[in-house]
Amino acid sequence: MNTLFDKIWDKHVVQTVKDGPTQLYIDRLYCHEVTSPQAFAGMRARGLKMFRPDHIFCMPDHNTPTHDQDKPIEDPVSKRQVDTLAKNAADFGVTHFAMNSKDNGIIHVVGPEKGLSLPGMTIVCGDSHTSTHGAMGAVAFGIGTSEVEMVMASQCILQTKPKSMRISVNGKLAKGVTPKDVALYLMSRLTTSGATGYFVEYAGDVVRDMSMEGRLTLCNLSIEMGARGGFVAPDEKTFEYIKGREYAPKGEAWDKAVAYWKTLKSGDDAVFDKELVFDAADIEPRITYGTNPGMGIGITETIPTLDEIDKAGQASFKKSLAYMGFEPGEKLLGHKIDYVFLGACTNGRIEDFRAFASIVKGRHKAEGVMAWLVPGSWLVDKQIREEGLDKVLTEAGFEIRQPGCSACLAMNDDKIPAGKYSVSTSNRNFEGRQGPGSRTILASPLVAAAAAVTGVVTDPRELMF
């Protein structure tokens, strides 16, 4: 029997080019301000209209400031990007969730929370972390700008079908271990290229037990293993999460949709091109020590020694450690940090703020630590205030900023200065990713919170009641 990936893919095939790619129908195109301008310009130059404008949703997020959003953007490059998206959306008649409106936030947070991302869909965006939407039971992946234009013009894309991989994580996660830790663990085991050429289905006890927000985090990081995307088969949790959301089906359409969604699963005899199985007992809270997300360790472990790295990778390993200012064999517990970032399309949801608040409650931000707490959307901001988390965070010395991609990447005001250490809940720790010369340690919201109140890399389990 076919895998779930096969089912969704095959249902969207328009035609297959002999010895070439597949013409794949796309249900949803998301556009942000960075990768869409050239696509809109191409459409304009060719005198084309959007083939299905009601299937396209635009939102600025990368360049938006996380303070004073009611004022004009000061940075001229960012202002031009954001203004251009607004004009393009208006000119071509597509939905635009403007900055500082209740609908705005990070596109990979807003899509699921509005019910725009649904099971069985094909979803694309000019952004690698489009894989996030796979948590809804969709085939979602990032595309290039020329491909964005292709979808605008035809609602289709030319793609070579990836191979299928199933990653099962069985058992039960221990105290203090989060979906972010699961993803960081998988990346360290597979490396950043271990899933190249594959579309990953996540399965097993741990994935079934995860909340929808946890699954969104896990799928978000699929690309960091080299995968084309990752997804989770929809189940009752998925349906419950979607029900009643703004763009979700209603009434009879809902019943019909759920009946179809219940068929979206791999059969017991489905054959995957590759299968991997991991044990939850092997996963503890994790941190990265290098300059790619696969360079990670358990928080109580030490950085590998040179002897533990194969010869082909030793030069890049040494270069990475030199950039980070770490030594082989070093333990990072107790290492001083300067910045903490809670947010991004990886960990900017309400559950992430609840987790962060659970650690800092009754404590206070460490002196000398700059903390940026950035909701992934205005809805998340609203939830934070409705649940009183804002008071907990304020009493602990933290400030909640306005929604946006923020310090995930150096495209807005929230940049980590050169040489400073940032414990970040975002998805990438490349050289300069959070600012020129910045040093990024990727971690979960619990690890970030523990660092924020102690000023050093700390095992969050020591602060949990």
Q: What is the pLDDT of residue 465?
A: 77
Q: Residues 25-41: pLDDT tens digits?
A: 999 999 999 999 999 99
Alpha carbons 287 and 442: distance in angstroms, whole number: 6
Kindly give the pairing relationship between strand 22-25 and strand 13-16: antiparallel
C-alpha distances (whole Å) from 253 to each of 57, 256, 259, 443 are 22, 5, 10, 40
Q: What is the mean predicted confidence (pLDDT) over 273-284?
A: 98
- pLDDT above 90 coverage of the chain, percent: 98
**Mean pLDDT value of segment 79-84:** 98
Cα(410)–Cα(9) distance, rounded to whole angstroms?
35
Question: Which pTM does this prediction carry?
Answer: 0.98
What is the C-alpha to C-alpha distance for residues 2 and 35, in angstroms, rounded to an integer?
34
Q: For the chain, what percent of residues have pLDDT higher than 70?
A: 100
pLDDT tens per residue, range 29-76: 999 999 999 999 999 999 999 999 999 999 999 999 999 999 999 999
State the Cα torsion 98-101-107-111 to the nearest 10°: -120
300 CB-near residues (< 8 Å, 6+ apart): 284, 331, 333, 459
pLDDT of amino acid 285 = 98
Segment 301-319 mean pLDDT: 96
Q: Sorting pLDDT into bands at 50, 70 and 90, what band is 19?
A: confident
Confidence of residue 1 (pLDDT cuts 50, 70, 90): low
Cβ atoms of 278 and 186 within 8 Å: the answer is yes
Segment 127-133 mean pLDDT: 98
> Half-sphere exposure (CA, 13 Å, Cβ side) for 105?
24
Domains of the chain: 4-274 (3.30.499.10), 286-463 (3.30.499.10)
User: What pLDDT sits at residue 17?
Assistant: 87
H or E element at residue 439: strand 439-442
Strand partners of residue 229 = 199
Band the pLDDT of 462: cuts 50, 70, 90.
very high
H or E segment at 198?
A: strand 198-203
For residues 10-18, average pLDDT = 95
Section 289-310 average pLDDT: 97
- Residue 439 near residue 356, CB atoms below 8 Å: no
In this prediction, residue 185 has a pLDDT band, given cuts at 50, 70 and 90, of very high
Q: How high does pLDDT run on average in the chain?
A: 97
Question: If you write DSSP's letter for every residue of 295-314 in order, what string do you get?
Answer: -EEETTSBPPPGGGS-HHHH
What confidence tens digit (pLDDT) does each residue in 421-435 have? Answer: 999 999 999 999 999
- Quote the crossing angle between the two packed helices 350-360 and 445-454, to the nearest 10°: 30
255 burial (CB, 10 Å; 0-12 / 13-18 / 19+) is exposed
Nearest to 180 by CA among 288, 66, 337: 288
pLDDT at position 186, please?
Answer: 98
Q: How confident is the model at residue 358 (pLDDT cuts 50, 70, 90)?
A: very high
User: How far is it, in rounded angstroms, from Cα 258 to Cα 87?
Assistant: 37
